[in-house]
């Protein structure tokens, strides 16, 4: 067992970048030596912020009313703004982070008076709010504060001066940016560091602070060049995070476009990246507006594709379509159905925390409604549910010997992982191949083919197989398949299974949001070395 753990640990850290390891050690040193951020107690550090203008941005989801907070499908009520426990971890760390993001101050139905009281309460939580001062929630919260302040008139500042004054808000905001600057997430990289960069850009424009701008510019150029793939996908390959990052990118374009300060070179760069991300998003969005819930994706978190398209249009950002390639995702659309295919790698190599063990996974929509789906995620807590939702068995794939295709573990870890080889990729044909990470002699090939309105999925396995192969297909909640021999009858559709045996239909828990699941039906069956699925409509 010790050797296994050591091997898993090695297979996890060997992909990390040197900068991640260096900053991991640096932040551990800070923690051990007790080095603290003393910025939060300082006053009047920068002068005051500048009035900025933003075109209409996307309102946040309503999650606050009368000191009742509703995040991740968990409601918590505090007696008053003075009694908010900003470090309340009873409902999970992600809930606490959402409390500290303060997205709710941008919801459409909130009063400015409530926001002033909330900001005052947050400021009073310094310097003991450990969770709130972490760099990721700090990044999001600071953007939200700047957005909110841009809507406040001088008269409103005067009207609510008995609650809080602008100088107090600005002093706290600047202090938070200094904390962020001292704790940039180079130990994680990925979307976390990118969010740090977006936030510093907002801070730079608000305070006309070159120190913030230089760091923001460096991060945004470097990270967006790496994180936006050649086909426009965000490299963590979560459609939900793609939408979140695109929203932040559009916000940054909004900021620069409407507040002249330095130059337009960064604006041009951000606009090109946003155009590519828009093009990718449009291609993988289903006709009814859904995105595939692959990897770490959940309902009710990110702005939907339609809102993002409208926001981009408002800013004059035109989508640029690139052929789906580097992301490993494919989408086939006909008059009757839409087929999304996940042939992507586990990645990025050094930050695969949002990846699942789902090579060859697919999502099938019929007549613009969900039919065969991905099971999504309902938690980020390090628990059995989290492990199950990232597992091979939670996806529409063929599994070997009860082993995950990739060694997903912990809350956001991946150890050994296979490399996916794209054997062939054509207009109506995709052929992939990979080897099992625990048995290099095991080779699995999956072919997707569209022939005359019929979806054909072929699986072929070669090499040493110790126990057996299991196939999984997960159906949407409103789908009731009827099993007849090796056929599934679903309304006016059929799924014919070749090389399948011991077929059973059983219940599974489908994630329909964080901390929220519903019952649905899945197929589980033993399969031969060569098997085939045919999906078509009855004539």
What are the domain boundaries of the chain?
23-30+186-321, 56-183, 329-537
What single string gives the DSSP state of each residue in 97-166? HHHHHTGGGGBTT--HHHHHHHHHHHHHTTTT-TTTTSHHHHHHHHHHHHHHHTT--HHHHHHTTTT--H
For the stretch 185-232, pLDDT in tens is 999 999 999 999 999 999 999 999 999 999 999 999 999 999 999 999
As a whole number, mean pLDDT of residues 248-271 equals: 94
Task: Give the long-range contacts of residues 502-511, CB within 8 A, separation 24 or more.
Answer: 502/526, 505/481, 508/375, 508/394, 508/474, 509/378, 510/373, 510/375, 510/376, 510/474, 510/477, 511/293, 511/298, 511/299, 511/375, 511/376, 511/377, 511/378, 511/389
pLDDT at 61: 92
The residue behind tokens 């947050």 is 122
Q: Is the pLDDT of residue 21 over 90?
A: no
pLDDT band at 36 (very low <50, low <70, confident <90, very high): low
120 contacts: CB under 8 Å, gap ≥ 6: 81, 163, 164, 168
pLDDT at 128: 87
> 394 in helix, strand or coil?
helix
pLDDT at 38: 56
pLDDT above 90: percentage of residues in the chain: 81
Q: Is the pLDDT of residue 42 over 80?
A: no
pLDDT at 201: 98
Q: Is the pLDDT of residue 478 over 60?
A: yes
> 518 in helix, strand or coil?
strand
Q: Is the pLDDT of residue 40 over 60?
A: no
Higher pLDDT, 236 or 42: 236
Contact call for residues 388 and 381 (beta carbons, < 8 A): no
As a whole number, mean pLDDT of residues 349-362 equals: 95
Q: Is the pLDDT of residue 99 over 80?
A: yes
pLDDT at 403: 86
What is the pTM assigned to this prediction? Answer: 0.96
What whole-number distance in Å separates Cα of residue 126 and Cα of residue 140? 17
Pick from 30-34, 84-88, 174-178, 385-389: least confident: 30-34
pLDDT band at 35 (very low <50, low <70, confident <90, very high): low
As a whole number, mean pLDDT of residues 391-396 equals: 96
> 386 in helix, strand or coil?
helix
Q: Is the pLDDT of residue 363 over 90?
A: yes
pLDDT band at 297 (very low <50, low <70, confident <90, very high): very high
pLDDT band at 4 (very low <50, low <70, confident <90, very high): confident
For the stretch 415-459, pLDDT in tens is 999 899 999 999 899 999 998 887 778 899 999 999 988 999 999
What whole-number distance in Å separates Cα of residue 285 and Cα of residue 302? 14
Q: Is the pLDDT of residue 411 over 80?
A: yes
Higher pLDDT, 51 or 47: 51
The residue among 463, 477, 465, 451 whose CA lies nearest residue 532 is 451
Q: What is the mean pLDDT of the chain?
A: 93
As a whole number, mean pLDDT of residues 463-485 equals: 89
What whole-number distance in Å separates Cα of residue 245 and Cα of residue 139? 13
pLDDT at 263: 73
pLDDT at 47: 59
As a whole number, mean pLDDT of residues 375-393 equals: 96
Considering the segment(s) 329-537 as one domain, its CATH architecture is Distorted Sandwich (2.70)
Other residues' Cβ atoms within 10 Å of the Cβ of residue 288 = 11
As a whole number, mean pLDDT of residues 338-354 equals: 94
Fold designation for 23-30+186-321: Glycosyltransferase (1.50.10)
CA dihedral defined by 309, 314, 315, 320, rounded to 10 degrees?
40
Return the H-helix or E-strand segment holding 292.
Answer: none
């Amino acid at each position: 067992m010790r050797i296994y753990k050591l091997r898993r640990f090695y297979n996890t850290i060997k992909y990390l970048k040197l900068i991640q390891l260096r900053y991991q050690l640096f932040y551990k040193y800070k923690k051990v030596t007790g080095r603290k951020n003393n910025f939060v107690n300082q006053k009047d550090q920068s002068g005051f912020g500048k009035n900025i203008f933003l075109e209409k941005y996307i309102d946040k989801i309503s999650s606050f009313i009368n000191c009742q907070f509703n995040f991740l499908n968990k409601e918590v009520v505090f007696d008053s703004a003075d009694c908010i426990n900003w470090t309340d971890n009873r409902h999970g760390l992600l809930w606490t982070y959402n409390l500290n993001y303060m997205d709710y101050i941008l919801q459409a139905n909130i009063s400015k008076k409530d926001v002033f009281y909330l900001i005052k309460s947050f400021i009073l939580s310094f310097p003991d709010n450990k969770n709130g001062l972490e760099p990721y929630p700090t990044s999001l919260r600071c953007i939200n504060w700047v957005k909110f302040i841009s809507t406040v008139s001088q008269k409103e500042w005067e009207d609510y001066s008995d609650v809080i004054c602008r100088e107090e808000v600005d002093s706290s905001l600047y202090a938070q940016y200094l904390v962020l600057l001292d704790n940039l997430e180079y130990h994680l990289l990925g979307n976390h560091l990118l969010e740090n960069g977006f936030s510093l850009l907002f801070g730079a424009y608000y305070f006309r602070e070159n120190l913030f701008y230089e760091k923001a510019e460096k991060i945004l150029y470097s990270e967006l060049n790496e994180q936006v793939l050649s086909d426009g996908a965000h490299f963590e390959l979560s459609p939900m995070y793609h939408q979140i990052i695109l929203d932040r990118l559009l916000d940054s374009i909004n900021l620069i476009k409407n507040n002249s300060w330095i130059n337009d070179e960064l604006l041009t760069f951000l606009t090109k990246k946003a155009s590519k991300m828009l093009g990718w998003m449009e291609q993988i969005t289903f006709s009814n507006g859904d995105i595939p819930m692959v990897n770490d994706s959940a309902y009710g978190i990110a702005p939907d594709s339609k809102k993002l398209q409208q926001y981009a249009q408002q800013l004059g950002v035109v989508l640029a379509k690139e052929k789906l390639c580097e992301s490993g995702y494919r989408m086939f659309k006909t008059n009757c159905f839409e087929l999304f295919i996940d042939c992507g790698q586990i990645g990025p190599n050094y930050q695969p925390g949002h990846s699942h063990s789902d090579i060859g996974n697919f999502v099938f929509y019929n007549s613009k409604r969900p039919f065969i789906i991905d099971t999504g995620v309902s938690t980020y807590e390090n628990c059995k549910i989290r492990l199950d939702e990232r597992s091979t068995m939670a996806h529409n794939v063929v599994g070997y010997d009860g082993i995950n295709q990739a060694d997903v573990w912990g809350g956001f870890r991946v150890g050994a992982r296979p490399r996916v080889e794209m054997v062939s990729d054509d207009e109506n044909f995709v052929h992939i191949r990979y080897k099992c990470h625990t048995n290099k002699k095991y080779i699995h090939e999956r072919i997707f083919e569209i022939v005359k309105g019929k979806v054909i999925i072929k699986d072929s396995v070669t090499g040493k197989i110790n126990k057996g192969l299991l196939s999984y297909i997960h159906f949407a909640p409103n789908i009731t398949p009827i099993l007849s021999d090796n056929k599934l009858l679903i309304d006016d559709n059929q799924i014919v299974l070749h090389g399948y045996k011991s077929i059973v239909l059983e219940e599974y828990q489908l994630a329909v949001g964080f901390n929220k699941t519903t019952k649905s039906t899945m197929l589980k069956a033993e399969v031969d070395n060569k098997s085939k699925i045919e999906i078509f409509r009855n004539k």
